[in-house]
Structure 1
């Protein structure tokens, strides 16, 4: 059973208050950060955490690094190839609470139709009601991956012997989820009044 019963239920990602980002080394000396602006997904947290599931869908064309030229290159076949692969998808296979408020979410990450298992550590920042009556949960975490594992291999050698873009990418998760009370309501509508 989960240590935090307040998180049990169906939750939807609030894209306007969430960030799914990434960072990597550029030219071996600086860090480039970006994010995806079109993200959706949900989590169903059961009383028995082993029965819980989560799904995240990212529209690859929404990549944003604050540089239009770089974003167009990332959308090309050299990187995300957004015409052929419009989505990045993560589907959980296990959610484990490793400490109070600390979780490991393991699942299948699909990029460019290549699927690999990854485990993502997430910290529950808190559960609070907002001024509009929504119950929100905040989660944060990061995980480093090797982009070559998903067939994203484009690079250019530097005169120093290094490369222009690091193969190691840090994924950054800052998630705000809203509890969907309708999904949690009993299926029996006979108690509902007109």
Structure 2
């Protein structure tokens, strides 16, 4: 059905599309659609689409294109960043403004062949918090997904001459968790969940970068949360290096994702359910949208 709707939108202007759309928009909402194609111009099914609000860094829509390369989302009015990612191809990111009552014609996103991006210079890079977001998505038990983020953290990347020996470290203030609901946030900080009084920090320390081709890497490391450490692998897309910012600093960017199982960190959701506590589900999708600033050419000595 979504395919038919988007095809009708192609043949009309924005006003005509709104009239021909059989699925009504919620009051005050707008609709965004895109068509992702591969380097030969063919529809790209299974491409990952992430829509992020530019003001809050919150992921508001996420999914994959259908077999015809189409993706559609109903969104509140605002400005968004849309990222399209597919294995072996260069990620594409663009911005879009959504207005209330508007049905935007599908945006054509062409993914280009992946190329080996020039890696960042060796040295120490520090996360830039205003341009970095640590987000999570969890399914609320019996309800829709819960979107949240951590607002206080620090981290850095030490780029070694051999990228495989590079290191990433992140420390998150566990009490900075926010989902937009004060009651739920207080519960997540309590001894029932993160227990921030006893375990104030969530730490990640990498062990190795593994190259997957194009701009894709796997970042292996150890995540420590709630007093428990587990090995995790982050699917990472390197987005390149640019000069930018107020002081024209050299910056690099990357997007990293992983899935966590709460029981691996002794967060027992079943016992909470037994006591009638409303909690998020047993798996959590974690995403780090990182921008880091170059600070010094010093690099660690790789272990022998």
Q: Write the mapping of 1:34-45 to structure 2, written as runs, cut at 5 A.
A: 34-45=148-159
Gaps of 5+ in 2: 1-115, 300-304
Q: Is 1:135 the counterpart of 2:246 in the alignment?
A: no
TM-score, reference length from structure 2:
0.56
Match in the other structure for 1:104 = 218
Equivalent residue for 1:93?
A: 207
Aligned length: 180
8 A contact 1:28–1:165 mirrored in 2: no
Mean CA deviation greater in 135-144 or 106-115? 135-144
Q: Within 2, Cα distance between the matches of 1:156 and 1:142?
A: 28
Which residue is equivalent to 1:184?
297
Which of these residues, 156, 170, 194, is aligned with residue 273 of structure 2?
156
User: Radius of gyration: which is bigger?
Assistant: 2
In 2: Cα distance, 1:21 partner to 1:140 partner? 11
- Aligned partners of 1:156 and 1:165 also within 8 Å: no
The aligned residue for residue 171 of structure 1 is 286
Aligned to 1:17: 131
- Indicate the SS of the match to 1:91: strand
User: Does the alignment pair 1:83 with 2:197?
Assistant: yes
Q: Residue in 1 aligned with 2:260?
A: 145
Q: Structure 1: 5+ residue runs without aligned partners? A: 158-162, 187-194
* Greater relative contact order (CA < 8 Å, ≥ 6 in sequence): 1
